[in-house]
Amino acid sequence: MEPGLASRGALPAAPPLPRWLTRHSLSPCLKIRNHIYSMPSPTYKVPSVTKCQASLATNYIRETSEVVDLDWENLGFGLVETDFMYVAKCGPDGNFSKGEVLPFGPIAVSPSAGVLNYGQGLFEGLKAYRKTDGSILLFRPEENATRMITGAERMCMPAPTVEQFVDAVKQTVLANKRWVPPTGKGSLYIRPLLMGSGAVLGLAPAPEYTFMIFVSPVGNYFKEGLSPINLIVEDKFHRASPGGTGGVKTIGNYASVLKAQKIAKSKGYSDVLYLDAVHDKYLEEVSSCNIFVVKDNVISTPAIKGTILPGITRKSIIEVAQSKGFKVEERLVSVDELLNADEVFCTGTAVVVSPVGSITYLGKRVEYGNQGVGVVSQQLYKSLTSLQMGLVEDFMDWTVQLN
Ligand code: COI
């Protein structure tokens, strides 16, 4: 076997550092577990710490200021690099190592990694909010852990246990706690990744997996902010098909929607609403969020049937709506119903609840509530976000308090 190429089961040896990394050799350059490198980026904020275990990270952050000095009023949904990320590895025994909290930075993977060649990868998204007393709340992190386990099974990957996942999220958030926006200014978006990092050539599951988490402070997902978004119903592309991977959070699902999204945005729409690939008349989801229609105070949303992502915000909105006495139906929802709805809204971790102001289908535009925010959407948004931000008592027992 060639030196540096791992046999199935062994960790791949570190490739030599590329020139663009060694260029920075005057600054501390980190070699981690033989094959992940991190280096200070131009905006890097923790120059004096090169590597730290979770406990060291916890000590370190005690010495830093409580909240970073950012322009919190103008946060959008773009990456803001923070201090630390979390990394854990899993070899062929299927067990993840005790992970490490490391300085945020680039990683190196083999060009032959399963994730790069065959898309063996999943991601998750969840948020941490700062309460008015300064403490930090996570929202239903065990739901993301469970969804990652389901997705990993579909993508032939081992997954961290629910405990490992939740513990890793907590460590990552605490290490980056000064990046959690002040109450009401946004949230810390948490992005767990699971990928086949081991080298493969023939089509096969990778021999090694990496579970990582990075975070970024975020504000509103859509540039419209909390104003209603304008969707176009896609009549050419589909997001998922029966038997495919539409129901799990695999990275390829998100690459596959970029084309239609790009076309829609070039025409001034906010995003694309997909229909089912079999009948072309039932709603599935928007590129990155679930869809709800409201008619006569009955809330309907497409049922989870393999092609739709089981959104955690979707599930939470259904439960909040039911707790408020709304009738919620999970079933096939047709385009006709959409066009005749009183209100339409989307849900997702990134968007939370986003009211829809108009839908365009085959050239016909239908507007809802005079472009205003519908009363049901408004009520559900308020109820859910108050819970997430700890502004009301957590009667659902959904939040996990840190520090
Ligand atoms: C999320 O809401 O977490 C998503 O997956 C959307 C993402 C594409 C930003």
pLDDT at 213: 99
Exposure on the CB side of residue 307, measured as CA atoms within 13 A: 18
Residues 257-262: what's their mean pLDDT? 98
For the stretch 251-254, contacts whose Cβ atoms lie closer than 8 Å and that sit 24 or more positions apart, written own/partner, are 251/115, 251/119, 251/121, 251/122, 251/123, 252/119, 252/121, 253/309, 254/287, 254/288
pTM reported for the whole predicted model: 0.85
Q: Dump the DSSP string for 196-239.
A: E-SB-SSSS--S-EEEEEEEEEE--SSTTTTSPEEEEE-SS--S
CA of 353 to the centre of ligand 1 (A): 12
pLDDT at 25: 27
**Exposed, middle or buried, 109 (CB in 10 Å: 0-12/13-18/19+)?**
buried
**Active-site hit among 51, 249, 327, 382:** 249
Q: For 53-99, where are the E strands, in sequence order?
A: 84-90
Express each pLDDT in 212-232 by its tens digit: 999 999 998 887 777 899 999
Query: Cα–Cα distance between 139 and 28 in angstroms, integer?
Result: 36
pLDDT value at 397 more than 90: yes
Q: Is 327 a catalytic residue?
A: no
Q: What is the mean pLDDT of the chain?
A: 86
Best probe residue, ligand 1, of 127, 254, 384 (max atoms within 8 Å of C-beta): 254
Residue nearest to atom 8 of ligand 1 (CA): 288
Q: What share of the chain is helix, strand, coil (3-state, %, to 5)?
A: 25, 25, 50
pLDDT value at 171 more than 60: yes
Confidence of residue 294 (pLDDT cuts 50, 70, 90): very high
Nearest atom, ligand 1, residue 126 CA? 3
3-class DSSP assignment, residue 176: coil
Query: Cα–Cα distance between 190 and 376 in angstroms, integer?
Result: 28
pLDDT at 226: 76
With a CB cutoff of 8 Å and minimum separation 6, the contacts of 371 are 228, 357, 358
**How many Cβ atoms sit within 10 Å of the Cβ of residue 100?**
22
pLDDT at 66: 85
Pocket of ligand 1 (CB under 6 A): 125, 254, 288, 348-350
Flag the least confident range among 93-102, 288-297, 310-319, 362-371.
362-371
Alpha helices in 247-334 (DSSP H): 251-256, 258-266, 312-323
Higher pLDDT, 340 or 52: 340
- Structural domains of the chain sorted by starting position, each given as residue range(s) with its CATH number in brackets: 6-218 (3.30.470.10), 229-388 (3.20.10.10)
**How many Cβ atoms sit within 10 Å of the Cβ of residue 303?**
12
CA of 347 to the centre of ligand 1 (A): 10
Residue pair 250/116 in contact (Cβ under 8 Å)? The answer is no
Strands 289-295 and 298-302: antiparallel
pLDDT value at 23 more than 70: no
pLDDT value at 30 more than 70: no
Express each pLDDT in 309-345 by its tens digit: 999 999 999 999 999 999 999 999 999 999 999 999 9
Express each pLDDT in 53-107 by its tens digit: 444 444 444 445 689 999 999 999 999 999 999 999 999 899 999 999 999 999 9
